[in-house]
Amino acid sequence: MKRFNSTLSLILAIAVNIWPCTTAVISGKATDDGRPLLLKNRDSDALQNKLVYFSQGKFKFIGLVNSADKENKEVWCGFNSAGFGIMNSASYNLKGNDTTKLSDQEGKLMKLALESCATLEDFETMLESLPKPLGVEANFGVIDAIGGAAYYETSNYKFVKYDVNDPNVAPDGYLIRTNYSFSGEENKGYGYIRYKTAASLLADKFNNGKISSEFLINDVPRCLIHSFTGTDLTKVLPKSEKDNNYVFFRDYIPRYLTSAAVVIQGIKKDEKVNLTTMWTILGFPLSSVIIPLWLIDDGALPEIMQANESNFAPLCDLALKLKDRAFSFQNDARENYLNVAALFNQENTGVYQKLAAVEKKILYEVNTRLTKWRETELVGNEVKEFYAWIDSFVINEIKKQFDIN
């Protein structure tokens, strides 16, 4: 019995430490407007996330941070004032026989990169010069303001670069990574089903035109297609939100542990770096809304996306409450069963369906402003006015939609 308990404990420990993110790096030649893109669909047991402005390093930057990280020691996705953006997905097939105990340093490494790097070359120099072991096992996706776009499959002592602008590496100008590395051990790691789902989505979009930032932040993190079973949960909708239409929910791109989704949109040649845009969904993507962010001189951000006195970002907190409507309250079933009727139904009263109206208004307001800024220049006071509107509109409108006091 003691041996069985030890084995069970090991299995549980391994399961707890798997963070199955889905990511993509897309060069400007594969996008509809020539701007490179980074996607991170973040899966983590840190469900409360916040946005933080940093100004202590060589470059100022905005980063996605765990709300519980009060000292903001780790960053899980972000971009800086040089137009350098970075994200990661954990990998589980790079270390091989490496028994190094130092691990889980990915968030610290990305924070350091945002503080100090302007280009892909800077990032490579940083990886080469940092003391080893690095304490990481990850696929780092990076873009910069001069068109650079690449993955770095990185372990304790080395990295392998996949240049997304190289047609021999990325024939269509984009690459995807989940939780295994192409330079690692074959048939090891996780996320093969999610990889295939994302690959099919991006290929369809690319073949029918080119990939847009709106598609990447909206369609991919919210995709309810399962590439292994061929299931599409949105094909036949329940009649009513009262139907309690629970389905087994594993290996979709969005998961119970999805805590945020981010797309960093870089700039085209001759555009100003401050037009770099971070399209952000705080919380479960199907129970939250897209809000864009820009880096301005005083570091202003929407209050609803920053930690409040309770150390929660109000938008993320509200999104988690709405998410609860879509998952079972039974402890041993919670992560594995999704109530489709709570999100989508024929009466159009599902959580996502109601949020879509709020999000449509946000994106209308955004696109009006962004079109102007790209033709003239991004004005800090106008960005702050937009953030003030976000703070006054979003939470109140969501609560009104769901009759929440």
The CATH number of the domain holding residue 389 is 3.60.60.10
Return d(Cα 245, Cα 240) in angstroms, integer.
9
Local structure of 293: helix, strand or coil? strand
Residue type, 84: F
For residue 9, tell me if it sits in a domain: no
How does DSSP assign 297-334, residue by residue? TT----GGGS--TTS--HHHHHHHHHHGGGB--STTTT
Residues 6+ apart with CB under 8 A from 205: 211, 212, 215, 219
Question: Crossing angle, helix 314-323 and helix 351-375, to 10 degrees?
Answer: 150
Return d(Cα 246, Cα 25) in angstroms, integer.
34
Q: Tell me the pairing of strands 246-248 and 337-339.
A: antiparallel
For residue 72, tell me if it sits in a domain: yes
For residue 12, tell me if it sits in a domain: no
Q: How many CA atoms lie within 13 A of 97 on its CB side?
A: 0
Cα Rg of the chain (Å, integer): 20
Domain assignment of residue 40, given as a range: 19-401
For residue 358, tell me if it sits in a domain: yes
Number of domains the chain is built from: 1
For residue 4, tell me if it sits in a domain: no
For residue 183, tell me if it sits in a domain: yes
pLDDT in tens, the chain (405 residues): 444 343 333 333 344 456 689 999 999 999 999 999 999 999 999 999 999 999 999 999 999 999 999 999 999 999 999 999 999 999 999 998 899 999 999 999 999 999 999 999 999 999 999 999 999 999 999 999 999 999 999 999 999 999 999 999 999 999 999 999 999 999 999 999 999 999 999 999 999 999 999 999 999 999 999 999 999 999 999 999 999 899 999 999 999 999 999 999 999 999 999 999 999 999 999 999 999 999 999 999 999 999 999 999 999 999 999 999 999 888 788 899 999 999 999 999 999 999 999 999 999 999 999 999 999 999 999 999 999 999 999 999 999 999 987
Return d(Cα 110, Cα 65) in angstroms, integer.
11
In this prediction the pTM is: 0.94
Residues 6+ apart with CB under 8 A from 343: 286, 287, 326, 350, 351, 352, 353
Q: Which one, of 155, 152, 154, lies nearest residue 164 by Cα?
A: 152
